[in-house]
Amino acid sequence: MPSSVDLFLFAILVFFLAKYGCPLLATLPVLFLGLWALMKELSSNDKADDAADDGGRADVSVGGQLPPRHDDGDKEMIREALMSWEEEVMVIEAQLLEAKATVKHFHRCLHRPNCMEGTSTDAAAVAHCRAQG
Among residues 69, 85, 101, which one ends one of the domains? 69
pLDDT over threshold 80, residue 3: no
Whole-angstrom CA distances from 109 to 113, 115, 121 are: 9, 6, 15
Are 64 and 75 within one domain?
Answer: no
- At residue 40, the pLDDT reads 79
Number of domains in the chain: 2
Q: Which among 66, 30, 60, 65 has a CA at the least distance from the CA of 45?
A: 60
Length of the chain: 133
| Distance from the Cα of residue 46 to its chain's centroid | 21
Check residue 119 and give its pLDDT: 53
Please give the Cα distance from 31 to 71 (Å, whole number).
42
Q: Which has more confidence, 63 or 35?
A: 35
Highest-pLDDT range among 24-38, 65-79, 90-104, 113-127? 90-104
Whether 52 and 2 map to the same domain: the answer is yes
Q: What is the pTM of this model?
A: 0.33
For residues 34 and 62, membership in a common domain is answered with yes
CA distance 75 to 81: 10
Judge if 35 and 58 occupy the same domain.
Answer: yes
Q: For 59-80, what is each residue's pLDDT tens digit?
A: 555 555 665 666 667 778 888 8
Do 61 and 85 fall into the same domain?
Answer: no
Identify the domain boundary among 69, 94, 114.
69
78 and 48 together in one domain = no
* 65 three-state secondary structure: strand
Model pLDDT, residue 113 = 56
Average pLDDT estimate for 50-54: 56
The domain in which residue 84 lies consists of 70-133
Are residues 133 and 88 both part of a single domain? yes
Could you tell me if 42 and 91 lie in one domain? no
